[in-house]
A and B are shown apart, each in its own frame.
Chain A
Amino acid sequence: MDGLASRRGEVMRSASEGGRGRVGASLWVSLLLAILGFLVVYPILMLLLGALTDTNPVVDGIQLSHLSVTNFLTVLANPNVAEALANTLIACGGGTLIAVAVGLLFSWIVVRTNTPFKAVIAAASILPLFAPPLVAGVAWAILGSPKTGLINTVFKWAGLDWRVDFYSMWGLVFVFGIYYAPYVYMFTSSALRNMDPSLEEAAEISGASAFATLFTVTFPLIMPAIVSGMLLSFIVMLGIYGIPAVLGAPTNLSVLTTYIFKLTNWSPPLYNTAAAVAIILMVVTGLLVFLQHKVLSGRSYTTVAGKAFRPRSLDLGRWRWFTFGLGIVYLLIVVVLPSLALIVAAFRKFMFIRDVSSLFDARQYSLMHFQSIFDNPLTMRSIYNSVEVGIITAVVGGALAFAIGYTIHRTQVTGRRWIDVISTLPVAIPGLVVGVAYLWAWIGVPGGLYGTIWILALAFIARFMPDTVKSLSTSFLQIHRELEEAAWVCGKGVLGTIRTIVLPLARPGVMASMTLLFVLAIRELGSSLFLYTSNTMVMSVLLLDYYEGGNLGKTAAFSLVQTVLLGVLIGGANYLSRGAAQGSVARTG
């Protein structure tokens, strides 16, 4: 292996050592580093600067005066910040507990039992990944609002004395938990699948009951997967804006993300405070990402023999109908009920539902809300803008990610470690923080980027850079090195080889990664919030606008439009990449 690596090194060196090649290589590295500096480093530095001054970037422009830590410390001491931080930790912590319980239960049901229709349950277990958080939040607001919620209406009709209130911490924890369980599920189900079944059989032979085996052997063995799924779901929940914005607003329940947005919406906007809180959010996320990285790089117990195992399935007897029932209940809660709620709200003239019989009264339904949203010129413009941003992000971001991935993985140029590190940084930065950082970076620069479609696209490119580089790299790392070396030997240069050999062979993977980037860009809400103007309104922000405007019918109608559009796009991306897209949507929330 070593010999091979050093031989490759030599080929590269002799290719680049021919004077001109060497200058070219260092120019290339400087160019990439400059682009990355512009996309990632500069906005983060501006965010730091913002947190450390009390100057207003809009009025004063960017100034280096008034630099002091006191501003930051004042923000830290602010009881509202402390409250938002505490709320965030409670909501994400509670949500994570539910997510772990649900995710682990379903991965066990799907991988280890003879529950009927397991494929359906497996599909249900990852479906919530595709629901945009804001849409999920809206759907649960329609279902679980304390006064007009559909659930309470049904309870009242059934003569039951139960009432639910999802405009609360409990509601937030519940919705977080069920929607982010798939992160735990994905990690633990593959760990279970890769586990040598004889490890469990040995416990059973030793005299342990099925239950004891589960807790003394199975779960301890997949602990690294459980922990990293848990950390990932926590990290994603930290950065989510849509769900807490919808469920927390009526009772003024703030988490860090919603609090940051609130700060920039006050008059005058408190940009400095927002920057400081964003940094807190970034630090917490960064720590967790680091921790997750540690857990993942630690020894994994599960791949012992590297061979395919015949999965063991426990015969549950009559209990398998119970586990099947659990799967159906989950499907009902995360998919069926919210979809029904959105459909009812979107097609119903008025959300007031006197009783259940009026729920089925056809006269109450019409296309009125759809007509009204499409009468609004902003609607079509937002769709047009979203698609435009999506295309720019996909093309520019895809090309950049390919250049970065190729430089990191297939060349020996000096400085590629730096390129690797900087392009991976955004993994630890929630979308919302990227938004605030870009706001700080460009709002005070005259003649500028702020207010254009491009600032959105650049923010998205930066935000999704790590995932795009990763998925693109997989596509060309599968091409054997010798195919390229053969082209060099035939006399092609590095660029010619990429054009004639690498790109044609890697095309399906590259196309899939770019389509995926397109979908992610269209979905993104967190960073758009701070960067849009009325001219550059995008779909996700307009949906939030409709919700805040108070008309549930229009909100639901636009949610449906978006969901259908996204469903078609994700389906297409998934078809192009043969399943790879689904994992990456998951990674970025």
Chain B
Amino acid sequence: MTATLEVTDLRKQFAIGRPAIDGVSFGVPAGEIVVLLGPSGCGKTTTLRCVAGLEHPTSGEISIAGKVVSSPERGILVPPRLRDLGMVFQSYAVWPHMTVRQNVVYPLKHRKLSRTEARTKVDEALELVGLSEYADRPVVALSGGQMQRVALARSIVYRPQLLLLDEPLSNLDAKLRLRLRDDLRAILKQTGMTALYVTHDQAEAVVLGDRIGVMRDGVLLQMDTPDAIYNRPADLFVANFTGATNELAGTLVSRNGQFGTVDFGEGRRGEVALLHSLSPDEKVRIALRPENITIGPHNGANIFSARVLDRRYQGTQTAYGIELFGRRLEVVELGTAARHQVGVETQVSLPKESCWAYRDTGPVALE
């Protein structure tokens, strides 16, 4: 039932401007959930729509279960209805003139199935999404979250070989989003379907994805497990997009395996982790998570003196702005106590495995 997806060197050029997708390649093994993550306009939704067949790629190849469904060069373009996919839309796209059951049974009507068989399948799907009691309600009488469950049931009722989800949670309110997010992963894993999921929300991506692909300007920057994306981001953009928002600049002095010594100017040196293969005397930029900086006296390496610029108490954590090497850095300290005063000179420690050094390739527009 469930199938692999292979996308090779996909390109999509709309009438004007730069390409929406610029040579994206990735594969999804059967049964895996892959999340495409990126800011709006990065080409993630266009990629998904090309896989669905709703958008026609300019070049490249898409194959599902080993069968080529899109290949402009070879003149192959299988229409969406023959690709055997399911899709969940951002706007739900449940048909308001039908009941819940009519919505869910719709795809089965276009497949050869007996009436009782169809009924059983619909009941199963509704059970799975937790809407059994709502089967005969008109969909417009449901809440947003329930509508999205109907859309999900409709897209899995015929067990398509591949499920596509286009920001399915972004129209829901925050609380519901968290609940449906966890349910969604459970349901997907229960059905064992291959899924391609598009979102701009990193928290969603981490919870849902077996692997995450970070996209930007039509290019796939990194595709890896959530753990690797968070702990070994491939470049400054991925680091920044996944929350390492602080940045320092310096020059690499020497290297020692995976680590190296960086000169931050005026003779101040520190140890950093090298995420690019760098050689001494190269300019580097260093990304750092706000929660990995510790304020206050500390032992060990990478201790520098800094000044607390401001303090924002947020209840369970406190955010500080500090000045280090003439730059402003954000620091987050967990706990309900705000321990540091504004204006004091203090020490900060930057753990070397959390200071990710990248080659300095000139200014990068970060969001």
Residues of A within 8 A of B (CB): 196, 198-199, 201-209, 212, 216-217, 220-221, 223, 299, 301, 304-305
Contacts and interface: CB of A to CB of B under 8 A. Distances in A.
B284 to A, nearest CB: 42
26 contacts: A196-B91, A198-B89, A198-B91, A201-B80, A202-B87, A202-B94, A202-B95, A202-B154, A204-B79, A205-B52, A205-B54, A205-B81, A206-B107, A206-B158, A207-B158, A208-B81, A208-B106, A212-B110, A220-B95, A221-B96, A221-B97, A223-B97, A299-B140, A304-B91, A305-B91, A305-B171
* Most chain A CB inside 10 Å of its own CB: which residue of B52, B87, B90, B97: B97
Contacts of A305: 91, 171
Contacts of A304: 91, 96
A202 B79 contact: no
Contacts of A209: 81
Given A198-B93, A202-B154, A207 B87 contact: no
Interface residues of B, number: 26
B1 to A, nearest CB: 16
B101 to A, nearest CB: 14
Contacts of B95: 199, 202-203, 217, 220-221
Given A196-B91, A304-B91, A205 B97 contact: no
Contacts of A201: 52, 54, 80, 87, 89, 93
B233 interface: no
A221 B140 CA distance: 13
Given A201-B80, A202-B154, A221-B96, A207 B111 contact: yes
Nearest to B102: A216
Interface in B148-178: 151, 154-155, 158, 171
A217 B110 CA distance: 14
Given A221-B97, A301-B96, A207 B110 contact: yes
Contacts of B87: 201-202, 205
B308 interface: no
B154 A206 contact: yes
Nearest to B89: A198
B252 interface: no
B31 interface: no
The 3 closest A-B pairs by CB, nearest first: A207-B110, A206-B107, A198-B93
Contacts of A217: 95
Nearest to A221: B97
Contacts of B171: 305
Interface in B70-85: 79-81, 85
Nearest to A299: B140
A572 to B, nearest CB: 36
A409 B62 CA distance: 58
B53 to A, nearest CB: 8
Contacts of A216: 106
A193 B111 CA distance: 30
B209 interface: no
A202 B80 CA distance: 10
A205 B91 contact: no
Contacts of B270: none
B342 to A, nearest CB: 40
A223 B89 CA distance: 23
* Most chain A CB inside 10 Å of its own CB: which residue of B90, B107, B158: B107
B110 A206 contact: yes
B213 interface: no
B226 interface: no
Contact of A207 (B89, B94, B107, B151): B107
A207 B97 contact: no
Given A198-B89, A202-B151, A206-B107, 12 more contacts: A198-B91, A202-B93, A204-B54, A206-B106, A207-B158, A208-B81, A208-B106, A208-B110, A217-B95, A220-B95, A220-B97, A304-B96
A204 to B, nearest CB: 5
Interface of B: 52, 54, 79-81, 85-87, 89-91, 93-97, 106-107, 110-111, 140, 151, 154-155, 158, 171
B57 to A, nearest CB: 15
Contacts of B158: 206-207
A178 to B, nearest CB: 30
A231 B261 CA distance: 80
A217 B154 CA distance: 15
Contacts of B52: 201, 205
A199 to B, nearest CB: 5
B294 to A, nearest CB: 45
Contacts of B97: 220-221, 223, 301
A199 B96 CA distance: 9
Nearest to A220: B97
Contacts of A212: 110
B81 A204 contact: yes
A223 to B, nearest CB: 7
Contacts of B85: 205
A103 B68 CA distance: 40
A205 B86 contact: yes
A302 B91 CA distance: 13
* Most chain B CB inside 10 Å of its own CB: which residue of A205, A209, A304: A205
A212 B79 CA distance: 14
Given A205-B86, A206-B110, A196 B93 contact: yes
Nearest to A209: B81
Contacts of A207: 81, 107, 110-111, 158
Contacts of A223: 97
Nearest to A206: B107
A160 to B, nearest CB: 43
A206 B81 contact: yes
Contacts of B140: 299
Contacts of B96: 221, 301, 304
A216 B103 CA distance: 11
A220 B80 CA distance: 22
A101 to B, nearest CB: 21
Contacts of A203: 95, 106
Contacts of B110: 206-208, 212
A203 B87 CA distance: 10
A299 B95 CA distance: 14
Nearest to A212: B110
Contacts of B107: 206-207
A220 B96 CA distance: 10
Contacts of B111: 207
A189 B112 CA distance: 35
* Most chain B CB inside 10 Å of its own CB: which residue of A207, A208, A209: A207
Contacts of A221: 95-97
Contacts of B151: 202
Nearest to A199: B93
A305 B86 CA distance: 22
B126 to A, nearest CB: 16
A231 to B, nearest CB: 19
A199 B54 CA distance: 13
B54 to A, nearest CB: 5
Given A217-B95, A220-B97, A223-B97, A202 B89 contact: yes
* Most chain B CB inside 10 Å of its own CB: which residue of A198, A203, A301, A304: A198
A378 B140 CA distance: 62
Contacts of A301: 96-97
B12 to A, nearest CB: 14
Nearest to B79: A204
A212 B111 CA distance: 13
A486 to B, nearest CB: 36
Contacts of A199: 93, 95
B365 to A, nearest CB: 26
B272 to A, nearest CB: 45
Nearest to A223: B97
B151 to A, nearest CB: 8
A24 to B, nearest CB: 47
Nearest to B107: A206
A112 to B, nearest CB: 14
A199 B89 CA distance: 9
Contacts of B93: 196, 198-199, 201-202
